[in-house]
Amino acid sequence: MKKNITAKYKGVIFDLDGVIVHTDKMHYAAWKSLADRLEIPFDEEVNNRLRGVSRTESLEIILERSAQVYSDAQKLRFSEEKNESYLRYLDGLSPHDVSPEVIDTLRLLKGAGLKIAIGSSSKNAKTILKNVGLTDFFDAVSDGTNIEKTKPDPEVFLKAAAMLRLAPSECAVVEDAITGIEAAVRGGFTAIAIGNAASSNKAEFNITSISELQKIILGDIYAE
């Protein structure tokens, strides 16, 4: 029989893209389509710079390679064009796009009484969660629709913690972007790096699999 032991953390805040759901290829395809139309070179090197930053900032990074100067109105149209393309890809998302490992980890954390939230710069976070059937798992969603500053500013995580009614020191942040790890550290959270950020030397923990959160987050919350 297992007994309940006090956990170190009371909440976990997850980045969405690249951690819970992998939509990287969809983002890449949507940006590549726009860049090709504008005849701007776009490759994986540029794409890696877009991780964890807003759509507006991503567009500015892409336009760095353009010989033309665009007006704010044109940039807005480009941003909308990319998002419309991306949303068409998102329509194809389903619960099958979430790994069993992610589902099992979320269930374990919820079952242990922890509060969990999303902290994402994406303005499509709620759409993604709905399409993959994960909306009910999360106690709060802080995303691109309720923040003014994007990562590495910690605003999105601070607002997620406030929604959970927890202090940053009571929460861990799971991120796959270097900017997200920096944001977590700046905000006073425990930073857990995975995926593309797994080699970060700023994170308190570096993991290769989301299932490793069981030991980090729960520790000895369950003991024989």
Residue type, 112: A
Q: Which two tokens stand for residue 187?
A: 């905000």
For residue 189, give the DSSP letter: P
Paired with 11 in beta bridges are: 115, 171
| 17 is an active site residue | yes
Please count the residues of the chain: 224
C-alpha atoms less than 13 angstroms from C-alpha of 153 in its C-beta half-sphere: 12
With contact defined as beta carbons under 8 Å apart, do 34 and 24 qualify? no
Distance CA 30, CA 176 (A): 20
Q: Choose the catalytic residue: 15, 36, 153, 176.
A: 15
- Tell me the two tokens of residue 83: 């998002």
Question: d(Cα 166, Cα 184) in Å, to the nearest integer?
Answer: 14
CA distances, 208 to each of 182, 193, 198 (Å): 19, 8, 7
Identify the sign of the CA torsion 127, 129, 133, 137.
negative
Amino acid at 129: L
Q: Half-sphere exposure (CA, 13 Å, Cβ side) for 121? A: 23
Rounded Cα distance, 119 and 100, in Å: 21
Catalytic center residues: 15, 17
